[in-house]
Structure 1
């Protein structure tokens, strides 16, 4: 029986949900697969195999008979006929076309039918020939947007988001480790397998999945380990199609630490450290010999981390334990999937000391944004939930759209009843550099604005940042006492960590926000912590690190 990991099973169900959506299936069926994927991911691997044998998958919440059959087949055989059949029935080229930002299944199907194309290349040619603009529902403007989207897809080819890379990484490490240690005598110890490169530094997107494998002594054993590792990688790549190359390097035990340091850090980081002669079995030994405190892998981007290490400032950098709560979270009042009280209870289970509620404002029609009367009604529910959950503080806010003229979505009579306002751009992304910068600057000057959310609007590998002067916004946010968000949604990770030096220089406060729409989203805050750490952000500049009472005072500007 294949040894299936819960993450693999969850990924299959999530993929099935996407395929069902593309097939035009009932949205309730699509959502059922999404819910099942969330529940399966928390299941132990041994339990998966037992339930597959016993036929008891339906005992798991959200798993009906049809989904149980898909799971059992996948766990027992490693394949899914249902998935293969869904793919086979999709129009040729549809899976390719829906990768283009802004081109949903309905429009993609129309273009395939009207233009008789079968690929992104065919669509690009049709755009250049002006044929897309002649299709009903399209225009020259949408034709140009499609061409821009194709360019983005092409430039992103071969890269994958960190969150997707991590789904594969643990499985690949386990596969390699099992292969190279199979038959090895316990007294000989376990050969190490580690992530390295951009994956280990937790870059927001990676071009390859890189690993370092420890080799046993002796030429014969060394060659056997190399072959076993490469065979494991080949087998995984064929069965799971990770979406990026899997690369493996090798090092002897005595040199493993040195090789790991050199393959993880950037050239700038290594140059700042200085070349070290000789090999070291562990990274800790390498850094000790260099006379520099150990630098965590995600910090090894440049000379700044080395300067912090030598100055004894590494302990000042934020960590996950500093996060007391998050502010930007959605409930069923708008487009969230948890009721307000359910979100509060989920945050309490995580050990948060406070939680912010920030549903969409009225301009966000697509997300059931709150009308002014809804905001007042929600305030009543917040007060009732506060009385039932006194162990966690609840801050009532709103995610207000920044309108085209820079104003917020409500007047003072509504904004004044809230604990905080998260301001964000959700439309008008095509504004000029000057227009967009002025628009957001005006919102930063609004006394009700407390947090600027996803400040560039980017979606990794899907949508480029809008054209705005980010460093000017950071400086203005510092001047006006507004926190700039690191949106921890792994599809965003916005603010970019490369703005770290300017953030530190201006003293701008940073808020790490999950932008959660369900309980799983709350748990993604750690991605934002990684971004903040890559910024070398000091704890004193993290809004989430304040105690609840100090947080309340900061939100009130008192």
Structure 2
């Protein structure tokens, strides 16, 4: 098995963590993070792409990073990474994954108290010894303990946005190696239902010969360990520590198996109860009468039709009224990618984005969009290089000039304007009125009480120029819990504002 892009990405990600702990230049840290991001979403075999020169020109993979990739491909290691690994215990790096604890705090508790892992950190904090360290107090204790709880809840799950390209790459690799043996292949489980985070990945294959399929699966480029290998089911562990399960089923049962292994559990229970009421039996092999005659199973449509239901999209299968809606014939229409006509929240290199306005226009056109809004951060958000009043006015003028050369496409001059702690906005009205669109957002004061945060947001929404409230709960999946806000009151004000 060769070295996968995921493994190199992991090395670069750890390099960024090590350098953060050492207090190195943030731009150097970010360079490794960008390289890791680029590699995580890379299709195809890394060695082939490297040798063919196809990595050149990819954002985040400059000359220096390409040389490091070459070193890893040739030796399996990066000397600088090995050196830093000897400097810091493995558990110290994991501490950086805890929400609300940054490199400075991790370095402090490691160097001053010898804390080397999460268990030691938790015990240290609960003993109140953290307060003996400079700048640490009861509030920090509370934040760290809350962060540990959140981390433990989410550490074995990955974001849907990371899981999808990963499973697409796996399916493409399996198809490439076993195309003559596969009739159908599809992801299943929570990923197929579009859940926000995924604990593991399920893949279902329809084939009359499982052996070549299982061989291909257990020899994927991203495999770290093979947990189990059988005729109908195999399991692997990826470089990122994610478990993948692949099942091979007969063509005549693919639909029933896909429905069953997609779930959810509560949806399947409701279907089973419905089947029983009709004198039927449903499982991963099909839908059967009392006498054992199979009446559905080749496709999911067959399965639902056998239960007097229309096809229910996977994203709705949570037993939250979708079966009743199907009975009535009023299942909601799901948003499709082709329904999206534009993007109203985009950052450029002027603040904390990765692309220029021109690059974003080109990509948006490729996607068939009709418009985009440039919403760089406002002045007070220094950490994201927010635009000063003068910079924003210059950007507005630049966008006007760009639009004068565009046909059948529109760039909206906008801004993600910070809502200050008193509810006022980061730019004066005389600047806001020059924008095509004003997006308001909270970036500070997340620990204020519910009433205070709610009133801040409401005050911002009452500004006549505000049209959109960005990330209304402040939640970052696996990293930050939502702040306390009365969304019903906020929505009432938004409705009044039209």
Pairwise same-fold verdict (TM > 0.5):
yes
Q: Does 1:236 align with 2:223?
A: yes
Partner of 1:80: 77
Aligned-pair CA distance for 1:112: 0.3
CA distance in 2, matches of 1:32, 1:398: 26
Contact 2:202 2:246 in 1 (8 A): yes
Partner of 2:164: 166
Aligned-pair CA distance for 1:311: 4.7
Partner of 1:252: 250
CA deviation digits over 1:254-298, x for unaligned, max 9?
Answer: 222112112213244345553353251222322343343333322
Aligned-pair CA distance for 1:383: 1.3
1:462 corresponds, among 471, 479, 483, to 479
Contact 1:10 1:37 in 2 (8 A): yes
Secondary structure at the aligned position of 1:327 is classed as strand
Aligned-pair CA distance for 1:39: 6.0
Partner of 1:265: 263
Secondary structure at the aligned position of 1:169 is classed as helix
CA distance in 1, matches of 2:63, 2:415: 40
1:293 corresponds, among 310, 332, 357, to 310
Q: 1:458 to 1:10 in 2, by over 3 A?
A: same
Q: 1:343 to 1:88 in 2, by over 3 A?
A: same
Contact 2:254 2:298 in 1 (8 A): yes
Partner of 1:204: 196
| Deviation larger for 7-16 or 318-327 | 7-16
CA distance in 2, matches of 1:43, 1:99: 23
Q: Which has the higher contact order (CA 8 A, sep 6+)?
A: 1
Contact 2:457 2:490 in 1 (8 A): yes
Partner of 1:329: 346
- Paired residues, what number? 466
1:118 corresponds, among 116, 119, 122, to 116
Secondary structure at the aligned position of 1:143 is classed as helix
Contact 2:351 2:386 in 1 (8 A): yes
Contact 1:127 1:143 in 2 (8 A): yes
Secondary structure at the aligned position of 1:331 is classed as coil
Q: 1:26 to 1:303 in 2, by over 3 A?
A: closer
1:451 corresponds, among 468, 480, 493, to 468
CA distance in 2, matches of 1:430, 1:296: 38
Contact 1:132 1:139 in 2 (8 A): yes
Contact 2:453 2:484 in 1 (8 A): yes
CA distance in 1, matches of 2:213, 2:367: 42
Q: Does 1:361 align with 2:360?
A: no
Contact 1:99 1:153 in 2 (8 A): yes
Give runs of aligned pairs for residues 145-544 of structure 1, distance below 5 A. Answer: 145-173=143-171, 181=178, 186=180, 189-190=181-182, 192-214=184-206, 216=208, 228=215, 231=218, 236-238=223-225, 240-249=238-247, 251-270=249-268, 273=271, 274-275=274-275, 276=282, 277-278=287-288, 279-314=296-331, 316-481=333-498
Aligned-pair CA distance for 1:172: 4.4
Partner of 2:293: none
Unaligned runs of 5+ in 2: 226-236, 276-281, 289-295
Q: CA RMSD in A?
A: 3.5
Aligned-pair CA distance for 1:438: 2.4
Q: 1:230 to 1:395 in 2, by over 3 A?
A: closer
CA distance in 2, matches of 1:234, 1:368: 39
Q: 1:227 to 1:364 in 2, by over 3 A?
A: closer
CA distance in 2, matches of 1:40, 1:244: 17
CA distance in 2, matches of 1:363, 1:390: 35
Secondary structure at the aligned position of 1:476 is classed as helix
Q: 1:9 to 1:445 in 2, by over 3 A?
A: same
Unaligned runs of 5+ in 1: 482-558
Aligned-pair CA distance for 1:382: 1.7
CA distance in 2, matches of 1:338, 1:356: 14
CA distance in 1, matches of 2:163, 2:474: 22
CA distance in 2, matches of 1:461, 1:59: 33
Aligned-pair CA distance for 1:21: 4.3
More strand by share: 2
Aligned-pair CA distance for 1:454: 0.5
Aligned-pair CA distance for 1:11: 6.1
Secondary structure at the aligned position of 2:309 is classed as coil
Contact 1:266 1:301 in 2 (8 A): yes
TM-score by length of structure 1 reads 0.73
Q: 1:343 to 1:405 in 2, by over 3 A?
A: same
Contact 2:377 2:417 in 1 (8 A): yes
Partner of 1:91: 88
| Deviation larger for 63-72 or 457-466 | 63-72
Q: 1:414 to 1:101 in 2, by over 3 A?
A: same
Partner of 1:142: 140
CA distance in 1, matches of 2:365, 2:55: 29
TM-score by length of structure 2 reads 0.81
Q: 1:165 to 1:438 in 2, by over 3 A?
A: same
CA distance in 1, matches of 2:121, 2:212: 46
Secondary structure at the aligned position of 2:376 is classed as strand
Contact 2:44 2:169 in 1 (8 A): no
Q: 1:260 to 1:468 in 2, by over 3 A?
A: same
CA distance in 2, matches of 1:315, 1:105: 46
CA distance in 2, matches of 1:259, 1:174: 21
